[in-house]
Structure 1
Amino acid sequence: MATLSKLQHLDAIKQLCSYSSTTKLKSTLKAGPMATLSKLQHLDAIKQLCSCSLTTKLKSTLKAGEYGNALQAAALEGHQAIVQLLLENKADSSYLHPNFADGHRVQTLYIEEIVTMLLNSASKIKSFHSNVQKGHDSAVASALDSGMKPDVPGGWYLYALHTAASQGNLSIIVLLLAKSNAELDIPDFAGRTPLWLAAQSGHVSVLDKLFESGTVDINPRDLEGRSALWQSSARGHLNAVKWLLSRNANHKIPDNYGLSPLEKAEIEGHKSIIEAIRRAP
């Protein structure tokens, strides 16, 4: 798929797109057809890929190509029509490749139309995440109904589901899950999953909702190696600790420094949590 994209063999791309299961597999290769096409300004071929059964995530944030993704490739090459097309197909204007951490550097090209399109898209994303964080249910629902993707990155915890889980906002979590088949174990920039964040804040109702919504890792660990049980033990959230232990969370997993949940609870003096962990099998 990537080779055909680079050579602009549109008929062959159409043929591959007729095989939905094959297309998704081929399109995840590191060569990155969308990024390649965006750089080379092959608008017709990009339209064909956008009409395929590729997922929105693949179309917008596929981590491939020298620029990292299709939108940045088109923006940095100054291809206005392609930027417009990608944004219309829900490309994430907030996504940044690590090599381009200063953002969409199209500003240096002085292409005002592209800058305006990107800023308008980014503004909507920022507003969406702000409403999630503040718990404005109606505003979040309105944004989702207008086509905002539930998993568009850009918030304090990177994703809206993570923010809502940390805040304990169950109604917004219900809205987000109803709009997408969310990947429940996707980590944020610090390796924290929605379940991890809910456990950290002691939001048992959120833990219940996440658990019943699909398969979730009961022992997620952040970049410091701290499990959900470790973190809830450290924060003194007894009900969250009991919830995790009742679902066979591993209380023997240490953090990166060798400290177990029990040892952390002992350090913090959380007597009820110490007793709960000691009673666990």
Structure 2
Amino acid sequence: MILGRGVDVNAQGGRFGSAIQAASFHGHQRIVQLLLDSGADINAQRGSFGNPLWAASYVGCHKTVQLLLDLGADINAQSGAEHIALRCASIRGHQEIVKLLIDRGADVNAQHGSALRAILARQVLLTELTPHWNIIGQLLDRGADVTVKNHMDETPLHITYSNFHIPTHMRKLLGKFLVEKGADLTAPDKHGWTPLHCASLYCGMNVIKGFLEISEGMKPTGEVGSTPLRAVPPNYDVDVLRRANAEDQGEDASQHAELDQTIRLIRPSSYLLLDLPDKTGRTPLFYAAKKGDHRVVEMALHDSNALNRKDFYGITPLLAAARKGHTAVVTLLLSNKATEVHSRDCLGRTPLW
């Protein structure tokens, strides 16, 4: 009746932006159909809910989403907040709509893989019983890029190990899935942090141990900060290690005979990750010592080459642990004869300070 009086079907205003967006949000398929038959813009952009498809995906109106797609809605159209329907449905946990959108051609890597990253960053408990777990599986199975970075250069793996709302066993499981899909264990963010730096700061021993188990036998060559990384599989002999390190430095291997004495013959490649510094020169081992996680320190005590590595301020793991009063960590570090007890920071302070 109202449409028959010549009212503008695409008039904009209010919370929803337009009539078709309001109808889509509330799941009124017949009204959506009527508005479209009367010339409503199926991809109208305005209001708090972006566009009609975004609004229907937000509230989980499966039939409305299907109707809009059948009538030609742009499945990858960005809302006013530059978010697509797939990201919205993923965050809200509407797994049937996620499946529908992907089946109809939604780009799982649109907006730099924002759908996957947004789920992992949710400040809500994630378990196997939540629909979000199944959605993560759907996105990964459909080719979600696990190496994509956000504005801080954080990958999905960084986010997984930084989110307190993901339980320990889920972080281990997610880490394994992401690595199997090609996640880079050594990728640095803008601070130079690798995923293991995040795990050292925000996770417990079980997660860190799981991380190191995942990385066993990896053979990547990459860079973290200004430090070349050559992660070597276990049981490589010294000659191979010397050649690899010399190649990384662009030097002749014969100049590195002294490495015979410093490189262990059998050393799991995963423990090299504990020695990777961020842009301040701090390694995951440093952060574990500073946090007082004696189990992580004990695990790496005899395999790390960064026991005495200083950060930008000249602070070593021993100095960091001593200042925080972590007696157990200090005791562990001192039990290793290689630990320098007389080390000073940039202000000349020793562990006694």
TM-score, length-scaled by structure 1? 0.53
2:157–2:195 Cα contact (<8 Å) kept: yes
Change (3 A) 1:241 1:155: farther
Query: 5 Å matches for 1:11-50?
Result: none
In structure 2, distance between residues paired with 1:132 and 1:186: 17
1:151–1:159 Cα contact (<8 Å) kept: yes
Name the counterpart of 1:252: 308
In structure 2, distance between residues paired with 1:157 and 1:207: 21
The partner residue of 1:131 within 119, 122, 140 is: 119
CA positional deviation for 1:184: 1.5
The alignment partner of 1:250 has SS state of coil
Change (3 A) 1:190 1:124: closer
Change (3 A) 1:246 1:133: farther
Query: 5 Å matches for 1:89-104?
Result: none
Matching of residue 192 in structure 1 with residue 193 in structure 2: yes
CA positional deviation for 1:165: 2.4
Corresponding pairs, count: 169
Matching of residue 159 in structure 1 with residue 155 in structure 2: yes
TM-score, length-scaled by structure 2? 0.43
Name the counterpart of 1:201: 202
Q: 1:10-67 CA distances to partner (integer Å, 9 max, x unpaired)?
A: xxxxxxxxxxxxxxxxxxxxxxxxxxxxxxxxxxxxxxxxxxxxxxxxxxxxxxxxxx
Output the amino acid matched with 2:177.
Answer: L
The alignment partner of 1:218 has SS state of helix
The partner residue of 1:176 within 175, 178, 184 is: 178
**Deviation above 3 Å: which 4+ runs of structure 1?**
114-124
Change (3 A) 1:240 1:157: farther
Name the counterpart of 1:8: none
Q: 1:86-116 CA distances to partner (integer Å, 9 max, x unpaired)?
A: xxxxxxxxxxxxxxxxxxxxxxxxxx9x985
Q: Larger C-alpha radius of gyration, 1 or 2?
A: 2
In structure 2, distance between residues paired with 1:149 and 1:202: 24
Matching of residue 273 in structure 1 with residue 329 in structure 2: yes
In structure 2, distance between residues paired with 1:274 and 1:255: 18
Query: 5 Å matches for 1:73-112?
Result: none
CA RMSD of aligned residues (A): 2.9
Change (3 A) 1:160 1:123: same
1:253–1:260 Cα contact (<8 Å) kept: yes
Structure 1 unpaired stretches of 5+: 1-111
Change (3 A) 1:228 1:260: same
Matching of residue 144 in structure 1 with residue 109 in structure 2: no
Change (3 A) 1:254 1:196: same
Query: Greater helix percent: which structure?
Result: 1
In structure 2, distance between residues paired with 1:179 and 1:125: 14
Name the counterpart of 2:48: none
Output the amino acid matched with 1:174.
Answer: K
Change (3 A) 1:249 1:209: farther
Name the counterpart of 1:75: none
In structure 2, distance between residues paired with 1:270 and 1:159: 31
CA positional deviation for 1:279: 0.8
Output the amino acid matched with 1:129.
Answer: R
The partner residue of 1:243 within 295, 299, 302 is: 299
1:201–1:237 Cα contact (<8 Å) kept: no
The alignment partner of 1:259 has SS state of coil
In structure 2, distance between residues paired with 1:280 and 1:201: 26
Output the amino acid matched with 2:282.
Answer: R
1:191–1:222 Cα contact (<8 Å) kept: yes
Output the amino acid matched with 2:181.
Answer: K
The alignment partner of 2:121 has SS state of helix
The partner residue of 1:261 within 300, 313, 317 is: 317
% identity of equivalent residues = 23
In structure 1, distance between residues paired with 2:133 and 2:299: 27
Change (3 A) 1:203 1:157: farther
Change (3 A) 1:255 1:227: same
Structure 2 unpaired stretches of 5+: 1-73, 85-108, 127-131, 219-230, 232-269, 338-353
